[in-house]
Each structure stands twice: as C-alpha cells, then as structure tokens.
C-alpha cells in the first residue's frame, strides 16, 4: 500500500490544534547551492517556530510524500541538489512507485500538505502563465492546484519571469481569491510594484477570517496572499526586467523547455545580477514565512 507520512512534531501539532505552516523543498534541491540551501531551509523553519507555529517542510523521501521532514533529510536533499527530482503533482505517483526522492514544487507541496490537513503554505513566488504561452501553452500546474486544493499560499507574487497579467486573468477565471498584504498591486517577486491590481488586506486576522469564510461556505480551492518584498531588498523594475529579457533570450537559444525553464532562468538571473537576485529571493522568503506564521496563528484562534 502506498501512503504519505507526517513527521512527529507536525502530527502532534495537528492533533493538539496548533498552527502549522507548510514549506516547499524545491528551494532546497534546486534553488541554491549547498550548504546555503540547507542553512536557509533551517532558518526558515526557525522563523516559523519563533512566530509560534510549527514548520512542516514537505518532500518525497524514498517514495513517501512526507509532511514535516527531519533536519537530516533536509541536509540530504541539500547535498543531493539537482540529482533529486523536481516533483510537481504529475510526478508524485511515479516517484512513489519507484521509491525515489522528490523536491516538491508549489503544486505538489499544496497537494501533500492538504493530505495532512495543513492549511497555510509559505513560499517565494508561485508559477504562472509563461510569457508567450499563447503559442507554447506553458502554464504552471501551480495555478490549477490553487483552483482545486484547499491551501492558502503566501508568496511575493508570481515570479517576474512570467506574464503577470495573464497569470492574474487565469486565477480569476478559476475563482481563486488574490489578496495583497498592505498593497493594492500584485508584487512582482524581485520588485514590490506592478501595474496589476489586487484586493488589499491590511491585517493577518482579516486574511484568516477570509480563509475561514471560504472553508465554512464549502468553496473549493485555495487562496493566494501576495506579500511585497521588503523595500530595502526590492530591485529596480526596469533593471530586473532587462535582466529577465536577456535570460529569456538565452533560455530560448539554449532550447530549454518545460519544468527546466524556471530553474534555468532563476540561475541565469542570479548570474547576471552578480548574486543580488538570490539575496532578494532569500529575504522575500523570510518575509513570506513571517506573514504566513501570523496568519496560521490567527486562523487557529478562529477554529
């Protein structure tokens, strides 16, 4: 029989009604080099605990989807790096059948977190509709997961490499609420401004109430909470757009396609910005984790 596992700390927290925040593992194996990847993952878990909640890093370990992996397993994923499969929803049953490790994306982290009943998930940025999708049909599975899986995702918006306008249109079509924490516009990952409007919410309690209302009304799917990168780490929009266009051109030249596209582009952008984009990425993850933890704590009070 195939199934999923829940770490002891997370299992106890869920049993006792304590707040839990899910975390992805792609950022460990595919986001940055070792040991910085492991150090960042452990720092993120520490931030959740400091905020009064329990962290649940999600991954597939030897074929078992796991909610709340151990520090030793985090270190293993970090050391293995890109040798670990990048696992979206479609990859979960294959990796389970083969007994292989998988670093979970936004979509698969949502899927597996929901199996255990975890309702909040903090990440960097979601995937979305890629530029040129009108011909390539390259649309991230993250959007469909948000439409169907009851997990609220806290992020710094959709990754800047995407078509942000079409991403918002897709989410609207699927009925996914998109909130902006203390902002009227969709954050654009590396920058905290864009021309695309979202529904502003100024208090984590308001967000928790919206999640509870959605749940009580029996509405399917999740919710997207977008949280701008802190001003001191925000990059100039025109500068980062120029870098992204250069990275996209090189991606096209190299013939990179499918799920290899995002890791390639993020790596290339990091290279072109001299590492500045990576530091921004880390800081926005920390910022999102703090907010998700506050929302999770407020949500547990409403239970």
Q: Which residues are catalytic?
A: 24, 159
Query: DSSP 3-state assignment of 118?
Result: coil
Distance CA 276, CA 290 (A): 22
Are the C-beta atoms of 63 and 112 separated by less than 8 Å?
no
Contacts of 144 (CB under 8 A, 6+ apart): 107, 174
Encoding tokens for residue 187?
């954050």
- Locate 197 and state its tokens: 């409007």
- Chain position carrying tokens 């649309």: 139
Q: What is the DSSP string of 154-186?
A: EESBB-TTB-HHHHHHHHHHTT--EEEET-SB-
């Amino acid at each position: 029989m195939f199934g999923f596992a829940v770490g002891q700390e997370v299992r106890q927290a869920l049993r006792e009604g304590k707040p839990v925040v899910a975390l992805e593992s792609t950022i460990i194996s595919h986001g940055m080099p070792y040991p910085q990847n492991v150090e960042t993952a452990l720092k993120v878990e520490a931030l959740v605990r400091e905020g009064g909640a329990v962290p649940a890093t999600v991954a597939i370990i030897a074929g078992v989807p796991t909610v709340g992996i151990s520090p030793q397993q985090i270190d293993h994923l970090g050391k293995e790096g890109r040798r670990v499969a990048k696992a979206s929803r479609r990859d979960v049953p294959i990796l389970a059948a083969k007994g292989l490790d998988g670093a979970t994306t936004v979509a698969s982290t949502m899927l597996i977190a929901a199996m255990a009943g975890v309702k909040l998930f903090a990440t960097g940025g979601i995937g979305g509709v890629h530029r040129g999708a009108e011909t390539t049909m390259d649309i991230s599975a993250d959007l469909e997961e948000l439409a169907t899986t009851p997990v609220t995702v806290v992020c710094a918006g959709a990754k800047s490499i995407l078509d942000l306008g079409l991403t918002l249109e897709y989410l609207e079509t699927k009925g996914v609420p998109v909130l902006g924490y203390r902002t009227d516009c969709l954050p654009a990952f590396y920058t905290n401004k864009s021309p695309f409007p979202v529904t502003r919410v100024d208090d984590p309690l308001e967000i928790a109430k919206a999640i509870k209302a959605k749940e009580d009304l029996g509405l399917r799917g999740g919710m997207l909470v977008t949280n701008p990168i802190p001003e001191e780490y925000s990059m100039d929009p025109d500068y980062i757009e120029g870098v992204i266009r250069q990275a996209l051109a090189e991606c096209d030249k190299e013939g990179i396609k499918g799920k290899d596209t995002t890791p390639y582009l993020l790596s290339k952008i990091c290279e072109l910005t001299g590492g500045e984009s990576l530091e921004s990425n880390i800081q926005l993850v920390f910022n999102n984790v703090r907010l998700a933890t506050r929302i999770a704590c407020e949500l547990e009070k409403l239970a």
